[in-house]
């Protein structure tokens, strides 16, 4: 009788993801509202290739105590998530009037609601953003192409 041995190997596949760069220290935004910035994003810079996921991230910048929203486009290549799109004006410096007295979690909730409202707009539906599979805020899906 033949004896058989089995080996069990634990395999861990890790996804490698490009990091979103923090905003430049002397950032000045030419947009006076999130809506104006989103209008610019939808009507100017266009990616050269289709984008799978658009990611909004929030940075809290010291010592100015201001929030900055950034947008990048990711594509997945095997286990590598690569930034394939960065708009020329991809950073939005949030005016103090929009974020005054809000902590990071509160501003994240406010931005989530604003972006979810935006995804229902005609501007969004006719933009390249709506062609992507998902729209994320800080790694959390807020819209998907269904």
- 53 vs 128: CA distance, rounded Å: 11
At 12, is the pLDDT very low, low, confident or very high (cuts 50, 70, 90)?
low
3-state percent breakdown (helix, strand, coil) of the chain, nearest 5: 25, 30, 45
For the chain, what is the domain count? 1
Weakest mean pLDDT among 12-16, 22-26, 54-58, 106-110: 12-16
What pLDDT shows up at residue 72? 97
Residue range of the domain that includes 60:
50-144
Count of Cβ atoms closer than 10 Å to residue 65 Cβ: 10
Task: Give domain status of residue 41, yes or no.
Answer: no
- Number of helices (H), then strands (E), in the chain: 4, 7
Check if the beta carbon of residue 65 is closer than 8 Å to that of residue 107. no
Task: Give domain status of residue 111, yes or no.
Answer: yes
Task: Give domain status of residue 30, yes or no.
Answer: no
Task: Give domain status of residue 67, yes or no.
Answer: yes
Average pLDDT, the chain: 90
Query: 3-class SS at 80?
Result: strand
């Amino acid at each position: 009788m033949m004896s058989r041995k089995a080996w069990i190997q634990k395999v861990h596949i890790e996804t490698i993801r490009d990091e979103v760069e923090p905003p430049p220290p002397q950032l000045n935004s030419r947009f006076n509202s999130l809506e104006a910035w989103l209008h610019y994003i939808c009507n100017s810079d266009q990616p050269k290739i289709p984008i799978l996921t658009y990611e909004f991230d929030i940075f809290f910048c010291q010592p100015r105590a201001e929030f900055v929203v950034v947008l990048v486009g990711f594509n997945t290549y095997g286990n590598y998530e690569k930034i394939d799109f960065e708009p020329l004006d991809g950073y939005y410096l949030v005016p103090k009037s929009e974020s005054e007295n809000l902590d990071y979690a509160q501003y994240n909730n406010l931005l989530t609601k604003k972006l979810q409202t935006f995804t229902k707009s005609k501007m969004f539906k006719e933009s390249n953003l709506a062609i992507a599979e998902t729209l994320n805020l800080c790694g959390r899906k807020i819209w998907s192409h269904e």
